[in-house]
Amino acid sequence: MKDLKFIGIYGPTATGKTQLALSLAKKYPIEIISVDSALVFKDMDIGTAKPSKDEQASVPHHLIDIICPNETYTVGQFCLDSEILIKEILSRGKIPLLVGGTGLYFEALLKGYTHLPVISDADHQKAINMMAEKGLKGAHQYLLDVDSRFCGINENDRQRIHRALSIYLSKGEIIYDYWDKQTTGQNGTILTIRPTCRETLKVRINKRLGKMLDAGLIDETKMLIKKYNLNQDHNSMRAVGYRQVYEHLVSRESIDQLRLKIYHATCQYAKRQTTWLNRCQSSTYFESCDEKALKNLELLLGNFPKT
CATH of the domain at 157: 1.10.20
Domain boundary among 153, 179, 205: 179
Verify that 272 and 252 share a domain, yes or no.
yes
Any domain includes 73 = yes
Per-residue pLDDT, 230: 94
Per-residue pLDDT, 172: 87
Per-residue pLDDT, 307: 53
Report residue 278's pLDDT band, with 50, 70 and 90 as the boundaries: low
Tell me how far CA of residue 10 lies from CA of 107, 149, 201, 286, 293, in angstroms: 11, 35, 15, 10, 12
Beta strand extents in the chain (DSSP E only): 6-10, 30-34, 61-62, 95-100, 188-193, 284-286
What is the residue range of 164's domain? 121-179
> Which of 73-77, 254-258, 274-278 is least confident?
274-278
> Which of 10-14, 89-93, 111-115, 135-139 is least confident?
111-115
> Which of 2-6, 49-53, 126-130, 165-169 is least confident?
2-6
Burial label, 258 (beta-carbon count in 10 A; 0-12, 13-18, 19+): buried
Averaged pLDDT for residues 269-293: 71
Verify that 109 and 221 share a domain, yes or no.
yes
Q: State in Å, rounded, how far the first CA of the chain is from the last one.
A: 13
Q: Are strands 6-10 and 30-34 parallel, antiparallel or unpaired?
A: unpaired
Verify that 171 and 38 share a domain, yes or no.
no
3 state DSSP class of 9: strand
Verify that 47 and 147 share a domain, yes or no.
no
Verify that 15 and 105 share a domain, yes or no.
yes
Total number of domains in the chain: 2
DSSP 7: E
Per-residue pLDDT, 134: 94
Domain boundary among 179, 206, 228: 179
Any domain includes 307 = no
Give pTM, 2 decimals: 0.80
Averaged pLDDT for residues 192-210: 86
Residue 245 in contact with residue 152, Cβ under 8 Å?
no
